[in-house]
């Protein structure tokens, strides 16, 4: 059984501002997350329910934050963006 994806409004707001080339790379990384939800690094502290998957595109490090519900097999895509101020914005 595969995992379902559910993007949040915060994720979609940033995603729609990305250029087309970056969107294609983000789409392929989201597919990797759907295939293997344990690919990301589990965070601790106030972000303990969040996983973060990191990838490079051109010269920029991008991160995708997501949470998962094992029982109903849904991955909530929380945020996407460059590393700069990512965790600060995510914890808000």
**Domains: count for the chain:** 1
Residue ranges of alpha helices (H) inside the chain are: 9-15, 20-35, 86-90
Report the CATH number that the domain containing residue 34 is assigned in CATH. Answer: 3.30.2310.20
Contact 40, 30 (CB under 8 A): no
Helix, strand or coil, per DSSP, at residue 91: coil
Closest C-alpha to 64, from 18, 11, 21: 11
What pLDDT band is residue 1 in, cutting at 50, 70 and 90?
low
The tens digit of pLDDT for each residue in 48-90 reads 999 999 999 999 999 999 999 999 999 999 999 999 999 999 9
Q: Is the pLDDT of residue 91 over 90?
A: no
Contact 42, 49 (CB under 8 A): no
Domain that holds residue 39: 4-90
Contact 55, 40 (CB under 8 A): no
The tens digit of pLDDT for each residue in 10-26 reads 999 999 999 999 999 99
């Amino acid at each position: 059984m595969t995992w379902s994806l559910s993007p949040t409004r915060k994720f979609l707001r940033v995603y729609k501002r990305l250029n087309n080339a970056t969107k294609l790379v983000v789409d392929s990384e989201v597919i990797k997350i759907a295939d293997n939800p344990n690919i990301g690094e589990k965070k601790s502290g106030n972000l303990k329910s969040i996983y973060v998957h990191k990838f490079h595109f051109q010269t920029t490090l991008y991160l995708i934050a997501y949470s998962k519900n094992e029982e109903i097999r849904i991955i909530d895509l929380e945020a996407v963006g460059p590393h700069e101020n990512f965790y600060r914005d995510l914890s808000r």
